[in-house]
Amino acid sequence: MEAYHQRLPLEGEERFPSGCAISGIFSRAGNRFSGRSAITSISVMHDRSNGLGGGFAGYGIYPEYKDFYAFHIFYYGNEAKRMCEEYLEEHFDLINLSKIPTEKHHNITDEPLIWRYFVTPLPTKLANSQLDEKEYTARCVIHINSVIKGAYVFSSGKNMGVFKAVGFPEDVGEFYRLDDYKGYSWTVHGRYPTNTPGWWGGAHPFALLDYSVVHNGEISSYDANRRFIEMYGYNCTLQTDTEVITYMIDYLHRRQGLTLEEVSHVIAAPFWSTIGRKSEEEQAEYTYLRNTFASMLITGPFSIILGFNGGLMALNDRLKLRSLVAAEKDDMVYLASEESAIRIIEPNPDRVWHPSGGKPVIITLNK
Amino acid sequence: MQGNRREQMKRVYVNEQWCLGCHLCEYYCAYANSGQESMVKALKDRTINPRIKVEEKNGISFAVNCRHCNEPLCVKSCIAGALSQVDGLIVIDASKCVGCYSCIMACPYGALMPNEEGVMQKCELCTTNTHGKPACVQGCPNKAIVFEER
Amino acid sequence: MANLLASKGVRTKQSYSRRDDMHYVIVGNSIASVGCIESIRKIDQTGTISVIGDEPHPCYSRPLISYLLENKTTEEKMTYRNDAFYEQNNVKLMLGKRVQAINTETKQLSIDDGSLVDYDKLLIATGSCPFIPPMKNLESVKNRFTFMTLDDAKNLEKVLTKESRVLIIGAGLIGLKCAEGIRDRVKTITVVDLASRVLVSILDEAGSSLVEKKLISEGITCILGDSVKEFVNSDALLTSGRVVGFDVLVLAVGVRPNVSLVKEAGGEVNRAILIDETCQTSLADVYAAGDCCESIDCITNERKVLAILPNAYMQGETAGRNMAGEDAFFDKAMAMNAIGFFGLHVITAGIYQGSDKLFTTESGYKRLFVQDGKLVGYILIGDTINRAGIYTSLVRNKTDLATIDFDLISEEPLLMAFAKKERAHKLGDAQ
Amino acid sequence: MGINYLYPDFEVHRDREKCITCRVCERQCANEVHSYDAESNRMVSDDTKCVNCHRCVSLCPTHALKIVKTNHGFKDNANWKGDVIQDIYRQADSGGVLLASMGTPKDYPVYWDKMLINASQVTNPSIDPLREPMETKTFLGQKSSKIRRDENGKLITKTDPQLALNIPIMFSAMSYGSISYNAHKSLALAAQKLGIFYNTGEGGLHEDFYQYGKNTIVQVASGRFGVHPEYLNAGAAIEIKMGQGAKPGIGGHLPGSKIGEDISKTRMIPEHADAISPAPHHDIYSIEDLRQLVYTLKEATAYTKPIIVKVAAVHNISAIASGIARSGADIIAIDGFRGGTGAAPARTRDNVGIPIELALASVDTRLRQEGIRNNVSLVVGGSIRSSADVIKAIALGADAIYIATSALLALGCHLCRTCQSGKCNWGIATQRPELVKRLNPEVGSERLVNLITAWNHEIKEMMGGMGINSIEALRGNRLMLRGIGLNETELQILGIAHAGQ
D24 with B21: Cβ contact below 8 A: no
Distance CA C183, CA A11 (A): 110
Residue C10 has pLDDT above 70, yes or no: no
Neighbours of D, requiring at least 3 CB pairs below 8 Å, are A, B
Among residues A49, A365, A347, A327, which one has the least CA distance to residue A188?
A49
CA A351, A352, A357 angle in degrees (round to 5)?
130
Q: Are A48 and A192 in contact (CB under 8 A)?
A: yes
Q: Residues of B with CB below 8 A from C413's CB?
A: 110
The pLDDT-based confidence of B150 (bands split at 50, 70, 90) is: confident
Mutation site for A-interface testing, chosen from D146, D156, D158, D470 by largest number of A Cβ within 10 Å? D470
Asked if A262 reaches chain D (Cβ–Cβ under 8 Å), the answer is yes
Asked if C8 reaches chain B (Cβ–Cβ under 8 Å), the answer is no
Task: Sort C93 into a burial class: Cβ within 10 Å, 0-12 / 13-18 / 19+.
Answer: middle
CA D248, D416, B16 angle in degrees (round to 5)?
115
Q: Which CATH class is domain C131-255?
A: alpha beta
The fold adopted by the segment(s) D165-280+306-318+329-468 is TIM Barrel (3.20.20)
For A255, the closest chain D residue by CA position comes to D146
A292 with D125: Cβ contact below 8 A: no
| Proportion of chain A above pLDDT 90, given as a percent | 78
Residue A145: which H helix or E strand, with range?
helix A133-147
The pLDDT-based confidence of C429 (bands split at 50, 70, 90) is: low
E strands of chain A, at which residues? 18-27, 33-34, 54-59, 69-75, 92-99, 113-121, 151-155, 160-165, 182-183, 185-193, 206-208, 211-217, 302-308, 311-316, 325-329, 332-336, 351-353, 361-364
The pLDDT-based confidence of C208 (bands split at 50, 70, 90) is: very high
Q: Residues of C with CB below 8 A from B60's CB?
A: 416
| CA-CA-CA-CA torsion sign (D50, D52, D56, D60) | positive
Q: State the average pLDDT for chain B.
A: 92
CA D141, D142, D143 angle in degrees (round to 5)?
115
Distance CA C40, CA C26 (A): 11
CATH of the domain at A40: 3.60.20.10
Whether there are 3 or more C-beta pairs closer than 8 Å between A and B is no
Distance CA B98, CA D4 (A): 63
Distance CA C250, CA C256 (A): 17
Distance CA B53, CA C124 (A): 42
C338 with B60: Cβ contact below 8 A: no
Among residues B121, B81, B122, B120, which one has the least CA distance to residue C76?
B81
Nearest to C428 among B15, B76, B104 (CB): B15
- Shared-domain flag, residues B135 and B104: no
The pLDDT-based confidence of C4 (bands split at 50, 70, 90) is: very low
Q: Are D331 and D199 in contact (CB under 8 A)?
A: no
Q: Which domain holds residue A351?
A: 2-355
Among residues D415, D407, D392, which one has the least CA distance to residue D450?
D407
Asked if C61 reaches chain B (Cβ–Cβ under 8 Å), the answer is yes
Q: Residues of B with CB below 8 A from C81's CB?
A: 81
Q: Residues of C with CB below 8 A from B100's CB?
A: 63, 338-340
Residue ranges of A 323-352 with Cβ closer than 8 A to chain D: none
Query: In this complex, how many residue pairs, one in chain B and one in chain C, have their CB atoms less than 8 Å apart?
Result: 135
**C224-234 mean pLDDT:** 93
For C396, the closest chain B residue by CA position comes to B108
A272 with D137: Cβ contact below 8 A: yes
Nearest to C427 among B14, B100, B118 (CB): B14
Q: Are A312 and A333 in contact (CB under 8 A)?
A: yes
DSSP state of A204: S
Max CA distance (Å), chain A: 60
Residue A362 lies in a domain: no
DSSP state of A255: I
CA C162, C164, C168 angle in degrees (round to 5)?
130
Asked if C423 reaches chain B (Cβ–Cβ under 8 Å), the answer is yes
Distance CA B138, CA B148 (A): 12
pLDDT of residue B6: 63
CATH number of D10-96: 3.30.70.20
- Shared-domain flag, residues B41 and B76: no
Nearest to D476 among A285, A293, A295 (CB): A295
A84 is catalytic: no
Q: What residue ranges of chain D have pLDDT lower than 50?
A: none
- DSSP secondary structure string for all residues of D409-426: HHHT------GGGSB-TT
Catalytic residue among A20, A84, A140, A236: A20
Asked if B106 reaches chain C (Cβ–Cβ under 8 Å), the answer is yes
Residue A42 lies in a domain: yes
Q: Which architecture, in CATH terms, is C343-427?
A: 2-Layer Sandwich (3.30)
Peptide bond into A205 cis (omega under 30): yes
CA distances D138 to D3, D360, D473, Å, are 58, 18, 11
Q: Are B133 and B118 in contact (CB under 8 A)?
A: no
Distance CA D259, CA D269 (A): 9
Residue D494 backbone zone (phi > 0: left; psi -120 to 50: alpha; other: beta): alpha
For D396, the closest chain A residue by CA position comes to A224
pLDDT of residue D253: 83
Nearest to B141 among D17, D22, D59 (CB): D59
**C355-366 mean pLDDT:** 91
For B66, the closest chain C residue by CA position comes to C427
For B21, the closest chain D residue by CA position comes to D27
- Shared-domain flag, residues B73 and B109: yes
Q: Which residue has the higher pLDDT, B117 or D160?
A: D160
For D63, the closest chain B residue by CA position comes to B40
Asked if A255 reaches chain D (Cβ–Cβ under 8 Å), the answer is no
Residue B60 lies in a domain: yes
Distance CA C335, CA C308 (A): 7
Cβ neighbours, 10 Å, residue C266: 11
Neighbours of A, requiring at least 3 CB pairs below 8 Å, are D
Query: Where does C308-366 have alpha helices with state H?
Result: 309-323
pLDDT of residue D315: 96
Asked if D479 reaches chain A (Cβ–Cβ under 8 Å), the answer is yes
| Proportion of chain C above pLDDT 90, given as a percent | 90
Residue A363 lies in a domain: no
Those residues with Cβ within 8 angstroms of residue D252's Cβ, 6 or more apart along the chain or in another chain? D175, D202, D221, D222, D223, D244, D275, D276, D277
Q: Which domain holds residue B139?
A: 9-65+126-150
The domains of chain C are located at 2-127+258-323, 131-255, 343-427
Determine the distance in angstroms separating the CA of B45 from the nearest CA of chain D, rounded to an integer: 6
| CA-CA-CA-CA torsion sign (C139, C144, C145, C151) | positive
Among residues D147, D140, D138, which one has the least CA distance to residue D162?
D140
B105 with C413: Cβ contact below 8 A: no
For C416, the closest chain B residue by CA position comes to B55
Give ipTM to 2 decimals.
0.87
> Using CA atoms in the order D463, D467, D470, D474, what is the torsion angle rounded to 10 degrees?
-70
Nearest to B143 among D19, D28, D440 (CB): D440
The pLDDT-based confidence of C30 (bands split at 50, 70, 90) is: very high
Q: State the average pLDDT for chain C.
A: 92
- Shared-domain flag, residues B52 and B85: no
Helix (H, G, I), strand (E, B) or coil at D497: strand
Q: Residues of C with CB below 8 A from B5's CB?
A: 42
A17 with D123: Cβ contact below 8 A: yes
Distance CA A39, CA A41 (A): 5
Q: Do domains C2-127+258-323 and C131-255 have the same CATH topology?
A: yes
pLDDT of residue A184: 97
CA A33, A39, A41 angle in degrees (round to 5)?
95
List b or e across D222-259, with b for residues whose CB sees 16 or more CB atoms inside 10 angstroms. bbbbbbeeebbbbbbbbbbbbbbbbbbebbbbbeeebb
Distance CA D175, CA D254 (A): 10
In sequence order, the β-bridge partners of residue C245 are: C235
Residue B1 lies in a domain: no
- DSSP secondary structure string for all residues of D91-145: HHHH-SPPEE-SS--S----GGGGEEE----SSS----TTTS--B--EEES---S
Task: Count how many residues are written for chain B.
Answer: 150
Helix (H, G, I), strand (E, B) or coil at D304: coil
Distance CA C286, CA A68 (A): 117
Report field, pTM of the whole predicted structure over 0.80:
yes
**C364-385 mean pLDDT:** 95
The pLDDT-based confidence of C12 (bands split at 50, 70, 90) is: very low
- Shared-domain flag, residues B23 and B52: yes
Nearest to D24 among B17, B23, B144 (CB): B23
Determine the distance in angstroms separating the CA of B142 from the nearest CA of chain D, rounded to an integer: 6
D468 with A231: Cβ contact below 8 A: no
Query: In this complex, how many residue pairs, one in chain A and one in chain D, have their CB atoms less than 8 Å apart?
Result: 111
Residue A122 lies in a domain: yes
Distance CA D160, CA D303 (A): 8
Domain count, chain A: 1
Those residues with Cβ within 8 angstroms of residue A344's Cβ, 6 or more apart along the chain or in another chain? A40, A41, A43, A44
- Shared-domain flag, residues B96 and B136: no
Nearest to B143 among D17, D20, D443 (CB): D443
Q: What residue ranges of chain A have pLDDT lower than 70?
A: 1-19, 194-198
- Shared-domain flag, residues B32 and B19: yes
- Shared-domain flag, residues B75 and B34: no
Helix (H, G, I), strand (E, B) or coil at D322: helix
Residues of chain D with CATH 3.20.20.70: 165-280+306-318+329-468
List b or e across B90-115, with b for residues whose CB sees 16 or more CB atoms inside 10 angstroms. bbbeeebbbbbbbbbbbbbbbbbbbe
State pLDDT tens for residues B18-66: 999 999 999 999 999 999 999 999 999 999 999 999 999 988 999 999 9
Q: Are D430 and D424 in contact (CB under 8 A)?
A: yes
C77 with B101: Cβ contact below 8 A: no
Residue B3 lies in a domain: no
Q: Which chain D residues have any C-beta within 8 angstroms of a chain B C-beta? A: 17-24, 27-28, 41, 58-59, 61-62, 64, 433-434, 437-440, 442-443
In sequence order, the β-bridge partners of residue A328 are: A333, A351
- Give the HSE-up count for residue C85: Cα atoms under 13 Å, Cβ half-sphere: 19
Domain count, chain B: 2
D437 with B18: Cβ contact below 8 A: yes
Asked if A230 reaches chain D (Cβ–Cβ under 8 Å), the answer is yes
E strands of B35-144, at which residues? 53-57, 60-64, 83-86, 89-92, 113-114, 120-121
Nearest to B44 among D20, D59, D439 (CB): D20
Whether there are 3 or more C-beta pairs closer than 8 Å between A and C is no
Query: In this complex, how many residue pairs, one in chain B and one in chain D, have their CB atoms less than 8 Å apart?
Result: 58
CA D182, D186, D190 angle in degrees (round to 5)?
170
The fold adopted by the segment(s) C2-127+258-323 is FAD/NAD(P)-binding domain (3.50.50)
State pLDDT tens for residues A63-116: 999 999 999 999 999 999 999 999 999 999 999 999 999 999 988 888 899 999
- Tally of helices (H runs) and strands (E runs) in chain D: 15, 21
Distance CA C309, CA C298 (A): 16
